[in-house]
């Protein structure tokens, strides 16, 4: 059964869909998610420090090991995260292409990665893309709301928000608070309203609130956190229960979700039902090992330190290790279940792996899925490449599981 009920998403995928599909790639339908996440990963007793699951042993209990690794989860050795993959970010030769294919990277995914690498490293737009200047100056027309949805505007004192809802059979009891990415320097853009539509679809009709929170350099820390907190409290005041709220964010927005959850816990506020973090930026000190071993692989931010992940105005004069700025340095005790997705070629890979390890040690139920050969925010390909389709289906399955088991 397909999660996306209509073809509204296709118009936003035109660029990606002009890339030919390989014969071995998936169809255009996004699957239900049954093949990409198993409830065992949520039901498992939280891992003790240093206790990592054995994927071969788990696969032996549930079926074929190769299918288990391909269709469910890649569990990485967090003690040596750089050893698993040494393939080039540009599998141009037949040998490299065969290696990438053997690792499970789709033909279209490889082409998109190389396209991003060209734009980021060789085109005239590259430098402004890496520094965030392009995003900062970007102007877009008003988003045309697709037929299946309604969009409502809300103006608060310091920022505005949009609420996307289903026209048919809306879920009025649950809501997703989506905190957008952009390195804390870029405002919300139309791609995140497409994200909202996808979140609405995979959650079977949940409303999706999209705050356009304040960003740097005009509004450095703590402005983004303040606006995220105000958005959350706004939902509570409108009658939503905390246990019916899901936080979702990508890149800086993924880190902001975790910082918000820490702030809520530290100040005695009720916590949300779960967190979905796509390529989250959790360490603004850029100190993880993947900032080095993926320096030449990351197609978006690689090959330079003149990028927003190194030079960023958001922290201002504050310590970058403040957990509300870099949640990796905080405690995850009492956090709700988290789904963390990241690409193996990201410089930010360590941000996800280190958070997952630390949260598990503190008793949090975490599903970390490292998508082989993928780039930062690859979910922004929507359903147009197999890896992003799987990621969205996985997010839908995660929502389904935490909805069933809110008292995990």
* pLDDT tens figures, 346-365: 999 999 999 999 999 999 99
Interval 279-297 mean pLDDT: 97
pLDDT for the residue numbered 80: 34
Torsion, Cα of 25, 29, 35, 38 (10° steps):
130
Task: Please answer whether residues 165 and 149 qualify as being in contact, where contact means their C-beta atoms are separated by less than 8 angstroms.
Answer: yes
pLDDT digits (tens, 9 = 90+) for 211-264: 999 999 999 999 999 999 999 999 999 999 999 999 999 999 999 999 999 999
In terms of pTM, does the model score above 0.85? no
pLDDT for the residue numbered 95: 58
- Quickly count: other Cβ atoms within 10 Å of residue 90's Cβ: 15
CA distance 80 to 394: 26
CA distance 380 to 374: 11
pLDDT digits (tens, 9 = 90+) for 300-315: 999 999 999 999 999 9
SS3 of 329-381: HCCCCCCCCEEEEEECCCCCHHHHHHHHHHHHHCCCCEEEEEECCCCCCHHHH
Secondary structure E strands in 50-113: none
pLDDT digits (tens, 9 = 90+) for 119-164: 888 888 888 888 888 778 888 899 999 999 999 999 999 999 999 9
pLDDT for the residue numbered 19: 60
Query: How far does Cα 29 stand from its chain's mean position?
Result: 21
- Give the containing element (helix H, strand E) for 209: strand 206-212
Please give the structure tokens belonging to residue 22: 């390989």
Minimum mean pLDDT among 83-87, 267-271, 348-352: which range?
83-87
Catalogue all structural domains in the chain, each as residue range(s) with its CATH number. 133-404 (3.40.50.1820)
First and final C-alpha spacing in the chain: 27
Catalytic residue list: 251, 346
Q: Check residues 65 and 342 and name the one with the higher pLDDT.
A: 342
Give 183's Cβ-side CA count (13 Å radius).
22
pLDDT for the residue numbered 44: 32
CA distance 317 to 220: 9
pLDDT for the residue numbered 9: 83
Q: Check residues 3 and 156 and name the one with the higher pLDDT.
A: 156
Interval 264-278 mean pLDDT: 98
CB-based burial label for 11 (10 Å; 0-12, 13-18, 19+):
exposed
pLDDT digits (tens, 9 = 90+) for 364-389: 999 999 999 999 999 999 999 999 99
pLDDT for the residue numbered 103: 66
Phi, psi (deg, nearest 5) at residue 61? -80, -20
Residue 390: pLDDT over 70: yes
Interval 313-324 mean pLDDT: 98
| 333 — pLDDT class (breaks 50, 70, 90) | very high
């Amino acid at each position: 059964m397909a999660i996306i009920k209509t073809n509204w998403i296709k118009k936003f995928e035109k660029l990606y869909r002009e890339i030919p599909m390989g014969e071995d790639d998936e169809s255009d339908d996004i699957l239900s998610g049954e093949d990409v996440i198993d409830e065992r990963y949520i039901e498992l007793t939280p891992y003790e420090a240093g206790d990592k699951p054995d994927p071969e042993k788990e696969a032996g209990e549930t079926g074929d090991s190769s299918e288990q690794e391909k269709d469910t989860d890649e569990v990485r050795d967090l003690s040596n995260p750089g050893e698993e993959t040494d393939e080039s970010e540009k599998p141009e030769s037949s040998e490299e292409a065969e290696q990438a294919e053997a690792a499970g990277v789709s033909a279209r995914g490889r082409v998109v990665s190389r396209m991003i690498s060209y734009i980021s490293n060789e085109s005239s737009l590259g430098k402004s893309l890496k520094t965030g200047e392009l995003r900062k100056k970007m102007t877009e027309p008003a988003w045309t709301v697709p037929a299946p949805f309604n969009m409502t505007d809300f103006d608060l004192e310091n920022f505005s928000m949009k609420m996307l809802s289903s026209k048919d059979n809306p879920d009025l009891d649950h809501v997703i608070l989506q905190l957008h990415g952009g390195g804390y320097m870029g405002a919300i853009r139309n791609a995140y309203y497409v994200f909202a539509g996808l979140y609405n679809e995979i959650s079977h009709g949940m409303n999706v609130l999209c705050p356009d929170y304040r960003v740097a350099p005009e509004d450095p820390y703590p402005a983004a956190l303040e606006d995220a907190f105000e958005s959350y409290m706004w939902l509570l005041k409108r009658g939503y229960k905390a246990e019916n709220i899901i936080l979702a964010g990508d890149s800086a927005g993924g880190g902001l979700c975790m910082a918000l959850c820490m702030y809520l816990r530290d100040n005695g506020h009720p916590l949300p039902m779960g967190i979905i973090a796509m390529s989250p930026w959790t360490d603004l000190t850029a100190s993880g090992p993947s900032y080095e071993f993926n320096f030449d692989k990351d197609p978006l931010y690689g090959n330079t330190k003149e990028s927003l992940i190194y030079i960023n105005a958001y922290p201002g004069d504050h310590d970058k290790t403040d957990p509300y700025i870099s949640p990796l340095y905080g405690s995850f005790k009492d956090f709700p279940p988290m789904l963390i997705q990241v690409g193996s070629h990201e410089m930010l890979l360590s941000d996800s792996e280190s958070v997952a390890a630390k949260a598990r040690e503190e008793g949090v139920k975490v599903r970390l899925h490292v998508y082989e050969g993928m780039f930062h925010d690859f979910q922004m390909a929507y359903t147009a490449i197999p890896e992003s389709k799987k990621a969205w289906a996985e997010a839908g399955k995660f929502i389904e599981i935490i909805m069933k088991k809110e008292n995990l």
